[in-house]
Amino acid sequence: MNNSVDLPPSQTARTQLQLRELIVGGELRPGQRIAELALVERLGASRTPIRMALVRLQEEGLLDALPNGGFVVKDFSEADIRDAIEVRGTLEGIAARFAAERGVTSVLMGEARELLDRIDAVLAKPRLSDSSFEAYVEHNGAFHKLLIEMSGSDVLARQIERAVTLPFASPNGFVLAQANGEHARDTLIVAQQQHRSVIEAIAQRAGARAEALMREHATIAHRNLREALQSQQTLKLVPGASLIRRRIGR
């Protein structure tokens, strides 16, 4: 008979989410060693779910394990972020190719077109408000998730989920940072045109084209990264900005 007590998954997941918010929100700073006992008091959780959450956050790439035990909050260079965006773009390109080659149900294709129509409605206004950007972020995130579902690959879905755990590597990582930019709406319109081109390539079963378009789509995130790094005020709008290690001098 097994007398061990399994920890409820929800308890660890909840603790993991709370810790991630502390890290991404900048309350736990890069280089700061994580004190388990302090977290017990701060989060009101026992040491077991905290320890398990720390291990998972290390697997996500937000923490480094110390040689003598314990964890420290990790920081990321500009090159790290570029690499993370490139990995996501590559994986999403594969997702688009799989969707085109394997075929997509009419239901999923209908959902994709409906999402694109919603984004078109958001971008129809000559000037975008804060609520417009928030709506774009919501619909854009839903589109990227739907693309993964369209690929029909659980293996690929897991790899993409891992790739976007870093907050600035997600499809929306730098979108809100562009909200006050002079050409913010123009950038989103270009991204939306790419969305539609990808869906049309998938509908036409053009796998190579769908993959190339989706990888090209990731270059917008690279451009947004460069622009965000030029302004400390803009960079503050990027989730996880406190984890980014800025270069001194250029």
Q: Report the alpha-carbon distance of residue 194 to residue 93 in Å, rounded.
A: 12
Domain boundaries, the chain: 9-73, 78-243
pTM for this model (two decimals): 0.79
Q: Report the alpha-carbon distance of residue 53 to residue 76 in Å, rounded.
A: 20
> Is the Cβ–Cβ distance between 25 and 241 less than 8 Å?
no
At residue 136, does pLDDT exceed 80? yes
Closest by CA to 116, choosing from 238, 202, 176, is 202
DSSP 244: B
pLDDT tens-digit map of 203-233:
999 999 999 999 999 888 888 777 777 766 6
pLDDT tens-digit map of 143-173:
999 999 999 999 999 999 888 877 778 888 7
Name the percent of the chain lying above pLDDT 70.
88
- What is the predicted pLDDT for the residue at 177? 63
What three-state secondary structure class fits 189?
A: helix
Q: Which CATH superfamily is domain 78-243 in?
A: GntR ligand-binding domain-like (1.20.120.530)
Domains 9-73 and 78-243 share a fold: no
> Is the Cβ–Cβ distance between 192 and 124 less than 8 Å?
no
Q: How many helices (H) and strands (E) does the chain have?
A: 11, 2
Which residues in the chain belong to E strands, given as ranges?
A: 63-65, 71-73
- Which residue pairs, CB below 8 angstroms and at least 24 apart, start in 127-132? 127/185, 128/179, 128/184, 128/185, 128/188, 130/179
Here the tokens at position 207 are 């796998």
Instruction: Tell me whether residue 171 is exposed, middle or buried, using C-beta atoms within 10 angstroms of its C-beta: 0 to 12, 13 to 18, 19 or more.
Output: buried
- Amino acid code (one letter) for 120: D
Q: What is the mean pLDDT of the chain?
A: 85
Say which CATH topology domain 9-73 has. Arc Repressor Mutant, subunit A (1.10.10)
Residue 71 dihedral angles phi and psi, to the nearest 5°: -135, 155
DSSP 6: P
At residue 181, does pLDDT exceed 70? no
